[in-house]
Amino acid sequence: MADATTKPTPLLTPTQDDDGAPFWTYAARGELRIQACAACDELRFPPRPCCPHCRSFDSTWRKMSGRGRIWSYVFPHPPLLPAYAEQAPYNAVIVELADAPRIRLVGNLVAAPDADLNSVAPERLRIGAKVQVVFADVGGTVVPRWLLERP
């Protein structure tokens, strides 16, 4: 069991199962890709085996521009795990993708790809702010994070 004071592994969405694994494989290459139905072309997130629109089991992974806007955000409050408490106040954002406004990803707004979770001052966040995806190795997994287009 991990020491509670060590840097935490991020909670991953999508999960790293058979359906979600391609998301993380592309993320490790620095690509934000979203699962799309190969039959009707609808995007879907989180990844799953069957298209909810046409029930096809065929899918592809479409590359996104990586641009989006902050749809919502929070600042977690105590009690927090010790490794997170050290970085508070930090944000958790929901980003709506510019290429696919119905697709929203949870992540963190940071000042640079490898910056700490608290690297953006809370007063800098606002709903609708344009953001750009970046990727960083966090606890051994490359995860998408978000930078303000106009810092």
Comparing CB distances to Zn ion, the nearer of 51 and 138 is 51
How many alpha carbons lie under 13 Å from residue 100 in its C-beta half-sphere?
A: 18
We find the least distance from the C-beta atom of residue 63 to Zn ion, in angstroms, to be: 19
We find the least distance from the C-beta atom of residue 48 to Zn ion, in angstroms, to be: 11
Comparing CB distances to Zn ion, the nearer of 61 and 84 is 61
We find the least distance from the C-beta atom of residue 77 to Zn ion, in angstroms, to be: 41
Comparing CB distances to Zn ion, the nearer of 86 and 99 is 99
Residues within the interface to Zn ion (CB under 5 A):
37, 39-40, 51, 53-54, 56
